[in-house]
Structures are given as structure tokens and as C-alpha cells.
Structure 1
Amino acid sequence: MILFTYFKKYLKYINYFLINFRIRSIMTFITSFSITFFLTPIFINYFHKKKISQIIRKDGPITHFIKKKTPTMGGIIILLSIFTSVIIWSDLSNKYVLYILFITFLYSIIGFMDDFYKIILKNSIGLSPYKKLFLQSIANIFFLLFITINNKKEQYINIIVPFTHKIIKYNLNIILYIIICYFILITVSNSVNLTDGLDGLAIMPIIFISLGLAVLSYFTGNIYFSKYFNFIYIKNSTELIIICLSIVGSGLAFLWYNTYPAKIFMGDVGSLSLGCIISIIAIFIKQEFLFIIMCGIFITESISVFIQLVKFKYNKKRFFLMAPLHHHYELQGISEPCIIIRFWIISLILILFTFMIM
């Protein structure tokens, strides 16, 4: 009888530990950070032995050829730590959590195939852009159809009027809503992929954006804060903070090894998947407008590639010395660490600006 009483007492503490959201948030960060921090060196050594390394663009900056022996596909560890920490510490009955784990898994397969083809074929292309876009489109359309059919009341887009307290809410039909969400997913995921061309360039903005989304998730999931900031209240969206903090934890640990000079790259399996996760979170909390501002660095990189292609097809001349934009600055003679830090600063400013216009 005494043992049973003690057991009930300790079970109460354990339940409190698991239910308390703050504790779960902290433990998510610690778990994801620890997994990535301790597994990455093992991963680096293993890939060195197997001679699985980054394939460098032949037309890229000359300074990048010294990176050809650097291991890639570090995104596998990032995703492993995110999935593990989320499964352990999140509420798996929450539909948003399950949706995100599902679409991230699909994107990780596409990214892995792309990296695998690069390594096997020994070229920097991997899957052709059309094949990659086709696979992403299938995954996106299937996923978006599923969530819209099962969540018919959530097919709307919020547009926040800057520096005012006005939010314009557009109720959309299924097709238009899917098209908008599709372009957000495709654009951001591929933009992160394009940005991941210098050591640590993409992962730090991902961390900043994840922290920003964590704050927005808290505001939208709290009935009092959502009313104060004039957000649409979305029940149970605070659980998305767990996912955001798992990205922050794994991202910071990965940056330890990915910072200049990088000992490992995340590869497409990491960049495509992370771009997908943050996009889906923004869609779920109905903050697509603010999210686009947060992703200013990624969007700018994509625009630079688009401008370069259009300009070259029009008159066979280049607008930039090289695209994406970070390569243009490299060829201008700016050092790689300088470009990286400046892009980080701009990314942080964009996050702060996002909260200003709220």
C-alpha cells in the first residue's frame, strides 16, 4: 500500500513533466541539439571513410573546389534529431504535428534522391530540375488536397496591412487555396536549396525564421494574445512551437560544424526539407504574408536566379556575375565569411521588421 502511494505520487510528477508545455519546449531544444551535436562528428568520419562528399559545380567559383572532399547530406542528422525530439516531446494527437511530420518525410525522400544521384553520377545536378519539380508537385498537391478536404473551415489567407491593426481575410475556394499554398511551398523550399551555397549561409536564417514562427505560433494559439495582436485564433497551434524549437536546436548544433570552414554540408535532403517545414508552419498559422517577409533572403536568391536566366535568354548576357546572388558577391572579391555574416544580419533585420509591422 505504501509502495502504491509513492508510485502514484511519482506518476503525478511524471505526468506534470510531460504535460507542462514550457518543460516540453525546453527539452525539445535540448534533445534536438544534443542528437545533432553528438552524431554529426560520427557522420562526418563515416562519410570521409566512404568518400561520400560534396560535388562542386564546374562553373562555380574557383574557391569552392577546395570543398570537394567535404561530406554532404548532413540534413539526414538534422531531420533525425527533429523527428526524434518531436515524437518524444510533442502531442502526437495534434493534427498539425502529424501533418508536418508526413510532408517533411516526403520532402526528405526527394532531397535524398537528389543528393544520391549527385554522388552516384558524380555531377552537381543530381535530379534534373524538371524531375525534382515534378516530385515536389506530386507531394504538395497530394498533401494539400488531403489537408484542405479534412479542414474545410481553414481555407483562407490573411493579409496584414503594414503598421496598422488591420487584417484582411480572404475566404478562398479549394482550388485557389491549394494553388497559393503550392507556390509558397515550392518557392520557399527551392529558395532555401539555392541559398545553401556557402558555409552556414542557409541554416542561420532558418534558425531566425523558426524562432519568429515560434512566437507567431504562440500568439495565434493563445486566445488573449491573438485578440490583442488582432490575429485569427487557431486552436492547438501552440504545439507548433515544439517543432520550431526542434529546428532551432538541431540547426544551432549543425552550425557548429557547418560554419566557415564547413566540415559538413546539409545537402538537398536538409535544405528542401527545412524549407518545407517552415512553409507549412506559416500556412497552418495563417501568417503567409509575414512569412514571405521573413524569407526575404531566400526569395531574393531565387529572384536573382530568375533574372539571370531571363536576361541570358533575351540577349545572351548576364545580369549578375554569377547566380544565385551570393556567388555574385564572391566574384566581386568579397570574402565568404563576410558575405555569410552580412546575409545573417539582413535575415535578422527582416525578422525584427516583421514584428514591427504586426
Structure 2
Amino acid sequence: MLYYLFDYLDKLDFPGAGMFQFVMFRSAMAAIFALLIGVFFGKKLIMKLQKKQIGETIRDLDLEGQYSKRGTPTMGGIIIILSILFSMLLFGKLENIYIIIMLVSTVWLGTLGFADDYIKVFKKDKEGLEGKFKIIAQVGLGLIVGLTIYFSPEIVVRENTEIRIDNVIEDVTYKSEDVKTTSTTIPFVKNNNFDYRWLVSWLGDYADEAVWVVFVLIVILIVTAVSNSANLTDGLDGLASGSSAIIGVALGILAYVSGRVDFASYLNIMYIPGSDELMVFASAFVGACVGFLWYNAYPAQVFMGDTGSLTIGGIIGVFAVLIHKELLLPILCGVFFVEALSVIGQVTYFKYTKKKYGTGRRIFKMTPLHHHFQKPGDGSIDAIIQKPKTPITEPKLVTRFWLIGILLAVLAVATLKMR
């Protein structure tokens, strides 16, 4: 709303009103405002949650400090969601199609997570919302995002073309017209655009239609996978919120350079008109995560619950798809990715060994992976990997995961020049 107010004032030559035309200025304001909302609104929400005795039910995992977390308020993801929404309403360009998609995704997954937490807390059902309903909702959002990208005339790109002399890139130019594309950026290779059409090229004349079906399915897979991976990562104080803030910074940078033809040309990536506005959303997202971290850092005063974890994962997945950088997610979201793989690997190996030997065996002492490091490696748990021998304290473990996340975020951005 402030964007439109100051846009009107700028037309009247009001001093300083033109600042709101700059994405960088509004991004900074969005981050600060979201952080302040999280800090000030979060305190009041936590008090209300405590009064209503909306506490987390802690499973008996035999972990150090586990029982001290009993009764800690949950559903704190509301803080993140409201911080993002209020900040974007003030500083975002709300008619931008990319912002519309991100706001819809935030509300959609926030509602899904809230329903799951509501059943757990108020209905006293530890299982929460049935898994099939979660998947249906996540698939539904993937369909909405994928089909909007296909049908919306505002979602277009200008693909980069290299001018080479003696096999050396001398310049990067862009086609004059905006086009619909199923291409995406692929890291570590010289020709850094990968078109999903290659997957269905064997269909000949039908490939142009079939590739969009494949693209929508990939969007569904990404939204579902990243959302659930973030949900699995939310097991230690500050782990998911801190990791998400780091990822949000990298995504904001990628959105900004993709939406600026000069930076896109320098980095030799496709130019996406209007995507620089996504930096405002990314800034609000980072500010909201940091504001929530104010209370979620060890020892946590509030947990985000599925209200927050499903939402932040979905936001990251949708954001990456919109800027055609989804193939960077295994690097950028490496912490989430490994956490999810640890669970998948543990369950698969346990079922396989139980079927083959009659007794299930484990790869890790406990999954998701962060719990593995909290268990002693004294052989009391039958697992292939016993290290570390001594459990790592929660604050140190979370900090190390953050540091790994920072390194992966830097690497993900650096891949644009590492070819």
C-alpha cells in the first residue's frame, strides 16, 4: 500500500517519494519491518499461546534437554506468515504476478500447516492431519503454480545467447521478444540452460505440449519435496528458521540479478522481466525468519510447528521455480536435502534388512540426521554409523548446520560463474 501511496506522491513531485520506486530500498524496508513485526507481535502471540496452553507434545526420544521443551508453545509459524504478509502489503508491488503467486503460496501452505497443528493441539491427535490430505494440498499448490506459469502472459523470459570467438564467450545478448519457456538454469556447465523439452523430445510433434505436462509435474515434485524436507528439519531450536533465512538471502540475490538485464548478461543467465520484485518478498521472508528466530533460538520460547515448517519449505520451492533456479535447490537447500535423505535411507534400509534378515538394521543412530549427532556412539544403538562418539550439544549442532548452510548458499550463487 505504501508503494502505491508514494508512487502517487512521486507524481506530485513530493520530496523523497521516488525512493519507493527502487527495489533495493523497498527490500531493506520489508526486511526491517518483517523483523520488527516478528519481534513485537511474537511476544504477544507467545503469551496468548501460553495462556491457552497450546504446548508442543514431545515424543520420548531419550535426548538431552528433551523434557525441558515440554509445554513450549507451538504454532509459532503464524508469526512468520503474518510478518511476511503485512510487510508485503506495505512495501510490495501487489499487481506483480510473481508476488501474487508467492502470497497465494504463503497463505495456502500456512493454512495447511495450521490445520495440521490444530488437530494435534486441540484434537489431541498426535498424528495430525492425515498424510494424504497434506499431499493433496501440496500437489494442489504445485498445480496452481505450474499452470499459472503456463497460462499467464506476464510470466516470460528472454533467453541468453552467447557470442563466441575462438570458443571464448565475448558477449551475451538476449532475444528481442519475451517468450514462454520450460528452460531452467543448470549449474557447473558452460551452456547453462537446460530445457525440460529434452526429456520428451522423442515425442516429436507432440513434444511442445508434453513438455508442459512434465514441467507441471516437476513443479509439484519440488513444492512437495522442499516443503516436507523443511518440516523434517524443524527438530532443533532455531535450525529450520535460521537455515531458511540463509536460503532466503541467496534466493533474493538470484531473483534480483535475474530481473536486471545488466547483471543477467554479466552472469550469462536468462533475463526474467519483473522477477527483481521477488527480492522484496525474499527480504520480507528473511526478516520474518530472523524475527521468529529471536524467540526460537535456544532455548526456544516458541516452536513454529507445521504452520511454519510446511510454509517456509513451500515458499522456497515455489520461489526457486519462478526464477528458473530449481536445479540449484539440492545445493542451496543442502541441509534440508540431507535431512530428508537420512530419513528415506534409514526407513528403506530398515525395511530391506528386516525382510532379508528378519531384524531391521539402521544406518544412523536416529533420524532425521540432526538427532543422530545428539546420540552417543557407544554401540548401545545398533547402527552402521556410530560417529560421533560423544553427543553434540544442541546450540553447537545448530550453529554448525547454519555454517554449512552459509557455505552452500555461497556455493549455489557462485555456480553461476563456475563453468
TM-score bin, normalised by smaller chain: over 0.9
The equivalent residue for 1:41 is 43
Separation in 2 of the partners of 1:289 and 1:354? 10
- The structure number with the bigger radius of gyration is 2
The equivalent residue for 2:242 is 204
The equivalent residue for 1:318 is 362
The equivalent residue for 1:264 is 302
Q: CA deviation at 1:23?
A: 2.2
2:193 matches 1:168: yes
**Partner SS, residue 193 of structure 2:** strand
Query: Please, which of 238, 255, 259 is the counterpart of residue 276 of structure 2?
Result: 238
Counterpart mapping for 1:252-291 below 5 A: 252-291=290-329
2:345 matches 1:307: yes
Give CA-to-partner distance per residue, 1:139-198, whole Å, 9 cap, x none: 322342233222584441324241x54313305421100111111111111101100100
**Partner SS, residue 330 of structure 1:** coil
Q: CA deviation at 1:122?
A: 2.7
Conserved 8 A contact 1:166-1:230: no
**Partner SS, residue 158 of structure 1:** strand
Consecutive unaligned residues in structure 2, runs of 5 or more: 1-8, 157-178, 198-210, 355-359, 377-390
Query: Please, which of 266, 287, 290 is the counterpart of residue 249 of structure 1?
Result: 287
In the superposition, the TM-score normalised over structure 1's length comes to: 0.93
**Partner SS, residue 235 of structure 1:** coil
Q: CA deviation at 1:8?
A: 8.6
Structure-2 change in CA distance of 1:161 and 1:273 (3 Å): closer
Separation in 1 of the partners of 2:148 and 2:268? 29
Query: Please, which of 217, 220, 223 is the counterpart of residue 258 of structure 2?
Result: 220
The equivalent residue for 1:340 is 398
Q: Which has the higher helix share?
A: 1
Compute the RMSD of aligned alpha carbons: 1.9
Conserved 8 A contact 1:56-1:124: no
Query: Percent identity over the alignment?
Result: 36
Conserved 8 A contact 2:46-2:73: yes
Conserved 8 A contact 2:185-2:269: no
Query: Please, which of 155, 158, 172 is the counterpart of residue 184 of structure 2?
Result: 158
Consecutive unaligned residues in structure 1, runs of 5 or more: 1-6
Equivalent position amino acid for 1:205 in 2? S
**Partner SS, residue 304 of structure 1:** helix
The equivalent residue for 1:92 is 94
Choose 94-103 or 164-173, whichever is displaced more: 164-173
Give CA-to-partner distance per residue, 1:209-257, whole Å, 9 cap, x none: 1110111111110101101101100001000000110011111111111
Conserved 8 A contact 1:157-1:288: no
Separation in 2 of the partners of 1:8 and 1:202? 40
Number of positions where the alignment pairs a residue of Structure 1 with one of Structure 2: 351
